[in-house]
Chain A
Amino acid sequence: MKVIELHRSVTESNDRDAQKLNQELKEKGLFFINLMSAAGSGKTTLLSRTITDLKDRLKIAVMEADIEADVDAKRIEELGAVSIQVHTDGMCHMDAGMTRKGLEEMDLEGIDLVFLENIGNLICPAEFATGAAKNVMILSIPEGDDKPLKYPLMFQTSDVLLITKLDTASYFSFDLDKCIERVRYLNPDIRIFVVSAKTGEGMKEWEDWLIQETKDWKENKDA
């Protein structure tokens, strides 16, 4: 027996796969977003509203990752958008390899933007890169303003934070300023949108961001 010293992070091989996938998506000009949040934060509702609002501007497809069932994919399909259901078979996150397989199974002809709706939890998805152009996370008001303290890595790895369910704010003691301060301390560069997918408040700013970023990604595809 000989000893081989490795000293490498467990996530290193996944990071490499993710980087490769990211580069390929850049060459294709396909903007790909990894959407992460806790279970029940309203990922599917937010996506449904976004798809409906932008239906004349962007062709959007959704990869639904769940441990089981296909209720989310059906909701997206009802809107006429391309969707695929990926089952992770008990795994708590999507990695780059699973994401690649999912994308290969999708009919992406004419699609501008693909969302990966990652498994609902604030821990594991943050540790495993998927190859996405941007990481977007949701924190819904009922979850509480202390979540940045409890799950710092998720807030650190996200490019965008959507604070959602603004319409419920009067029922919860959610300190928005305090929450934003906590998030900015962890990640000074994060973009924050405060929205309600139900009333539509704040949705325009988020949707304008999506349109602009998708356009920039496409234009830089040879860069």
Chain B
Amino acid sequence: MHELSIVTHVAKTLDEIAEENHLTRIGSVTLEIGEVSGIITDYFEDCWNYFKVRHPLLKECEMKLESIPAITFCEDCRQEYPTVEYGRICPYCKSEHTFLLQGNECNIKEIEAENERET
């Protein structure tokens, strides 16, 4: 359910971009997905393929996904470590005082598109 919602928000943003830039067709969209963003990429791709054929601007739009690794920072020993492997507890000093530096993103990085003049 979550994935489909995000797809509709991506489409809404792309509609806005298309209008601003007079785009007639979007060939691909590249998204950056954090490792702990909670997005299941297989399911996300299914949602995209379901949605895009129902949306004229995106009919032939390919979705490319790039993963952003999740990294946690420890406030006590001030070291960084991979979140997926060690979770919330710092593997160096066993502290619980940690926070996520990156890895929960869901960003639209770039698109490939054609505008009216080119067609």
- CB of A110 within 8 Å of the partner chain: no
- CB of A56 within 8 Å of the partner chain: no
- CB of A92 within 8 Å of the partner chain: yes
- A28 to chain B minimum Cβ distance, whole angstroms, is 26
Whether A123 contacts B10 in the complex (CB less than 8 A), given A3-B111, A6-B111, comes out as no
A1 touches B27 (CB 8 A): yes
A11-19, A35-43, A79-87 - the one binding chain B: A11-19
A2 touches B113 (CB 8 A): yes
- CB of B38 within 8 Å of the partner chain: yes
Whether A9 contacts B17 in the complex (CB less than 8 A), given A2-B113, A93-B5, A95-B9, comes out as no
Whether A13 contacts B110 in the complex (CB less than 8 A), given A91-B1, A123-B38, comes out as no
B interface size (C-beta, 8 A): 32
Whether A123 contacts B2 in the complex (CB less than 8 A), given A10-B9, A10-B10, comes out as yes
Among candidates A3, A12, A149, residue contacting B110 with C-beta atoms closer than 8 Å: A3
Residues of A near B10 (CB, < 8 A) are: 10
A9 touches B112 (CB 8 A): no
- Cα-based distance from A6 to B1 in the complex (angstroms): 25
A9 touches B106 (CB 8 A): yes
- A54 to chain B minimum Cβ distance, whole angstroms, is 33
Chain A, interface residues (CB within 8 Å), range: 20 to 34
- Cα-based distance from A91 to B21 in the complex (angstroms): 30
- CB of A188 within 8 Å of the partner chain: no
- CB of B67 within 8 Å of the partner chain: no
- CB of B108 within 8 Å of the partner chain: yes
User: Which B100-119 residues have C-beta < 8 A from chain A?
Assistant: 104-115, 118
CB<8 Å pairs between A and B, sample of 7:
A3-B112, A4-B113, A5-B110, A6-B108, A6-B109, A8-B108, A123-B2
Those 8 A-B pairs whose CB atoms lie nearest each other, nearest first: A92-B1, A10-B106, A1-B112, A5-B110, A6-B108, A124-B2, A13-B13, A10-B9
What is the interface of chain A, defined by CB distance below 8 A to chain B? Answer: 1-14, 90-93, 95, 123-124, 128, 149, 153, 185
Besides A9-B105, A90-B1, 10 new A-B residue pairs in contact (Cβ under 8 A), listed by A number: A2-B114, A3-B111, A4-B17, A4-B21, A4-B113, A9-B106, A10-B13, A13-B9, A92-B2, A123-B2
